[in-house]
Amino acid sequence: MTRTALLFFICVLLCAGLFFYACASRHAEQKLEVFSWWTAGGEAEGLESLRRIFMSKNQNVEFINATVAGGAGSNAQAVLATRMQGGKPPDTFQVHAGLELIGSWVAAGAMEPLNFLFERNNWMSVYPMGLIDIISHNGKIYSVPVNIHRSNVLWYNKSTFMAYGLAPPQTLDDFFKVAEVLANNTITPLALGDNGIWAATHLFENILLGALGPLNYKNLWNGKLNWNNPKVKSALSVFVKVLDYINSDHSALSWDGAAQYVIDGKCAMTIMGDWAHGYIKAKGLKPDVDYGWIPSPGTKGSFNMLSDSFGLPKNAPHRDIAIRWLTICGSKEGQDAFNPIKGSISARTDADRKLYDDYSLSAMNDFLSDIIVPSCTHGAAASQSWVAKINEIMSVFVAERDVDKAAREFQEAAERYVNK
């Protein structure tokens, strides 16, 4: 072979190599990793409905469903923190609207602003301003809300209530009357699954709301009301009394396990966000036939809200594909597929009401007429560090039931974390 022929041959080999490398890396780039904690009944199916829409428009993309089980992100958030700190963010991740987003990831400068996406899709006119406010910082919007959930709902087994001639409890006093009747008939009144302690905090935030009313409840989160005051102490005492009516295996059970106890008639009620509606429906039960709902005792007129959203971390490995995912999350099509399954309502004001059941329609109406208050447990009212501290205090409180100590520690936490 002459020298020229050899050179030519080497060039051909190099070009072919480069061509195959380019093709392979292009192929490898077609990925999307979506990080969430949606693994339980209802929530997993909801996520699947979004995945299906995404895949129908992006057939060549490999969808990586990176879920970490544990309600309320109890395990996922720690995994996410490790990845973010290690410079290995997923392409997009589930994060609660409010201080969970703004007080941690945005404060750390880890997120990309998404105003361009809101403008491109005309979302400014379809998202409620109140929601845009809590995902914004200094005029920049940092996530795409996919839903609105209600935290303050009591779910009950209709045949159990009918069998004992009971009406769902409207007030905390009613709750104890109903609970006494049930307990006297060897039915465990209230199901709690606090193997993730957040479920106890969730119950407590709704007892607080019922006992204090919406304005005082809100003032606990903005520092205007002291946690050491007699009203909070009395709510803590009510919480202790409620614990006398829960299942004995609560600390080994998850939130969906507790909802299952209500389905099975093992317990009569559970106080949980409306993802429980998604769970119970996914099990084949019929709303308003097999199970009923009512605002948790004492909270009629208040809507304790939270919102799941997805954000775009800086240095997302597949940024352009993540933007396609976020576009579906914010779309009417995406939200009207996801929310009727998830148990939540659309975060958009133009949802197709025909697709939603009676519970969701009642939640939509209440969202428009009630006083909206932010959930602490689910990241709307408090930063992740504050919620973590509250959960830590709650773990001890559930075991020790020392009201004065808990009130003191909650106040110390508020002083440390409010507005931070």
Residues 338-357 contacting ligand GAL, CB under 6 A: none
Asked whether position 35 contacts ligand GAL by CB under 6 A, the answer is: no
**Chain centroid to CA 402:** 29
Q: How far apart are CA 211 and CA 208, in angstroms?
A: 5
Shortest reach from residue 17's CB to ligand GAL, in Å: 47
- Residue 45 or 249: the one with the smaller Cβ distance to ligand GAL is 45
- DSSP result, 296-329: STT-TTEEEEE-EEEE-BTT-TTHHHHHHHHHHH
Q: How far apart are CA 275 and CA 342, in angstroms?
A: 6
Helix axes 384-400, 198-212, angle to 10 degrees: 90
Any idea what DSSP says for residue 273? -
Asked whether position 308 contacts ligand GAL by CB under 6 A, the answer is: yes
* Listed residue (316, 150, 99, 71) closest to 325, CA to CA: 316
- Residue 101 or 232: the one with the smaller Cβ distance to ligand GAL is 101
The upper half-sphere exposure of residue 193, i.e. CA atoms within 13 Å in the direction of its Cβ, equals: 19
244-to-26, 32, 240, 249, 396 alpha-carbon distances in Å: 60, 47, 7, 13, 16
- Residue 127 or 161: the one with the smaller Cβ distance to ligand GAL is 127
Grouping H, G, I as helix, E, B as strand and the rest as coil, residue 65 is: strand
Tokens of 179: 């609970």
Determine which residue in the list 105, 275, 338, 359 makes contact with ligand GAL, applying CB under 6 A.
275
Part in contact with ligand GAL (CB under 6 A); list of ranges 17-25, 67-75, 213-221, 361-369: 67-75
Residues 139-158 contacting ligand GAL, CB under 6 A: 149
Asked whether position 37 contacts ligand GAL by CB under 6 A, the answer is: yes
Determine which residue in the list 199, 306, 347, 351 makes contact with ligand GAL, applying CB under 6 A.
306
Percent of the chain that is helix, strand, coil (3-state, to 5): 55, 15, 30
Shortest reach from residue 341's CB to ligand GAL, in Å: 12
- Residue 188 or 254: the one with the smaller Cβ distance to ligand GAL is 254
Determine which residue in the list 41, 71, 311, 374 makes contact with ligand GAL, applying CB under 6 A.
71
Determine which residue in the list 35, 38, 227, 291 makes contact with ligand GAL, applying CB under 6 A.
38
Shortest reach from residue 149's CB to ligand GAL, in Å: 5
Asked whether position 196 contacts ligand GAL by CB under 6 A, the answer is: no
Which residues partner with 106 through β-bridges?
A: none
Part in contact with ligand GAL (CB under 6 A); list of ranges 66-74, 169-177, 286-294, 393-401: 66-74
- Residue 102 or 187: the one with the smaller Cβ distance to ligand GAL is 102
Part in contact with ligand GAL (CB under 6 A); list of ranges 9-17, 68-76, 349-357, 406-414: 68-76
Asked whether position 43 contacts ligand GAL by CB under 6 A, the answer is: yes
- Residue 168 or 343: the one with the smaller Cβ distance to ligand GAL is 343
Determine which residue in the list 32, 47, 50, 72 makes contact with ligand GAL, applying CB under 6 A.
72
Asked whether position 232 contacts ligand GAL by CB under 6 A, the answer is: no
Asked whether position 100 contacts ligand GAL by CB under 6 A, the answer is: no
Burial class of 6 by CB neighbour count within 10 A (0 to 12, 13 to 18, 19+): exposed
- Residue 73 or 287: the one with the smaller Cβ distance to ligand GAL is 73
Part in contact with ligand GAL (CB under 6 A); list of ranges 35-43, 59-67, 289-297, 382-390: 35-43
Considering just the CA atoms, what is the radius of gyration of the chain in Å?
24
Q: How far apart are CA 158 and CA 164, in angstroms?
A: 10
- Residue 50 or 306: the one with the smaller Cβ distance to ligand GAL is 306
Q: Is the dihedral of CA 410, 415, 416, 417 positive or negative?
A: positive
Q: Is the dihedral of CA 201, 202, 204, 209 positive or negative?
A: positive
Shortest reach from residue 211's CB to ligand GAL, in Å: 23
Shortest reach from residue 96's CB to ligand GAL, in Å: 6
Q: How far apart are CA 147 and CA 143, in angstroms?
A: 12
Binding site for ligand GAL (CB under 6 A): 37-38, 43, 71-73, 149, 275, 306, 308, 378
